[in-house]
Structure 1
Amino acid sequence: MLVKTKGVVLNYIKFRESSIITKIYTEQLGVQSYIVNSVRKKGNGSRIALFQPFTLLDMVVYSSPRGGIQRISEYKTAYPFATIPFDIRKSSILLFLSEMVTRTVKEEEENPTLFAFLYNSMISFDQQVQHFENFHLEFLLELTQHLGFGPGSGTEIIEQVAFSANTQAATSAPPVLALHAYETYFDGLLRPGVANETIPNGKIRREMLSILIRYYQLHVDKLGEIKSLAILSEVLS
């Protein structure tokens, strides 16, 4: 059966000489994996740029009730990015977020609200030309709402992380007693316009991200190591 759908590319892996297997969050079918042939050709024939993290696509795809890896009949860019491919800070942020979404969003069924969040967030991010240094934090906080463990306040995040049994096990978050200093910063991201606390520098931003990843680890089974975090930290340092 052929299905017409929009899609948000999450990642891809190389397959054979010139093909890939790509994971895409689709509007109609949730998370799906597709084999795409001959996209890694040398020269002008290559279309691999269309499968970079969070590229937005219009697609016609094959869908089978048996599941498994499917194929794409037609695909084209739904929204050509104007800034993301040319800004290493933005592309690094999306590499990191694509890994987080891939590890946390698993449903193979339609979820219009989640799809709209992912799709519209990318358009908004591409249109921002400055003051986007908190985007990854804001994105992850909003994603928690769609995943079912969204915090109501910065205090809720800090208390769960501070009193978890393995606070220091898989994160570089600061010592427990220092965590409470970040409550108002999280409140500022959760309730913009209500809490006006400004994140003063990159060091605090990185520590907040470590806390937030630990918060995810408490709620997402086997989240594991986020390999792209080191790249993001270096680029944004």
Structure 2
Amino acid sequence: MQIKTEGIVIHSIRYGEADVIAKIYTKEKGLISYLIRGVLKSKKRKIKPAFLLPFSILTIDASHKSKTTLKRLIDASPIEAYTTLHQSIVKNSMVTFLTEILLQVLADEAPDEQLYEFVAYSILWLDANEEITLFHVHFLLRLTTFLGCSPDSTNIHLTKFDLKEGNFTFNTKSGYFIEGTLLVAFKMLLGTNFDNLKEISLPKEERKQLLNKVLLYYSFHVPGFKNPKSLLVLETLFS
């Protein structure tokens, strides 16, 4: 069966001398592993190596044989031409960090059009904007909605957020919680959108703490979750 759909490149790796295996999150089929023959060798290939950079949004033609786990990418073309995403060191590090997260949480061949649209919109926003210091934290919080583990904001007026229980409370016995100025920023992030992130002011060290709290939340609520290897690089760039 041959399909044509949109897809977001999550990860790609060299395979042999000239081939590439790319994990692409497709609108129609979910996360799929594709083999792209000769992409690193022939200059005449329709699919260019630059098309396979992380978070590239493509229109793809692919062959999906039911008995094979590795599908074949026949053709691809970029939908968007980025201006800053892969040129900015900070943005590129953020892309690496978020694609590591997505590789953990996206289920193979499980399509979710709303999740696809959210990721695509987020990428385009990141490329077009410069006030991005809390982008990745907000992205992670929004992502929990699609993963079925979003924070329970029923009692958002309370003074602590229990990371293990996933709700707001006056008191917590778990020992894992957010409070004080971090809680103020956390509440604001839950109730805003990307365009309003610039209104949330948080010192560098507290931004780092908040990110680590959100990652801890993921470790409690996303089975098998581990902190991305690129976290240290990201923290260094924002320090």
Partner of 1:189: 189
Partner of 1:205: 207
Query: Shift of residue 207 of structure 1?
Result: 0.7
Partner of 1:159: 162
C-alpha distance in 1, partners of 2:179/2:68?
46
Q: Are 1:7 and 2:10 matched, yes or no?
A: no
Query: Shift of residue 188 of structure 1?
Result: 0.7
C-alpha distance in 2, partners of 1:91/1:37?
26
SS of the residue 1:133 aligns to: coil
C-alpha distance in 2, partners of 1:30/1:97?
17
Counterparts in 2 of 1:48-197, with a 5 A limit?
A: 48-128=49-129, 130-153=130-153, 158-161=161-164, 179-181=178-180, 182-192=182-192
2:221 to 208, 219, 223: 219
Shift in CA distance, 124/183, structure 1 to aligned 2, threshold 3 Å: same
Indicate if the aligned counterparts of 1:188 and 1:197 stay in contact, CA closer than 8 A. no
Report the count of equivalent residues: 226
Query: Percent identity among equivalent residues?
Result: 27
- Specify every segment of 5 or more residues in structure 1 that has no aligned partner in the other structure, as ranges: 168-175
Q: TM-score, normalised by structure 1?
A: 0.85
C-alpha distance in 1, partners of 2:114/2:141?
15
Instruction: String of CA shifts for 1:34-69, please: whole Å, max 9, x gaps.
Output: 011222349897932211211111101111233501
Partner of 2:168: none
Aligned AA (2:179): H
Partner of 1:173: none
After superposition, the CA RMSD in angstroms is 2.8
C-alpha distance in 2, partners of 1:89/1:143?
21
C-alpha distance in 2, partners of 1:66/1:157?
50
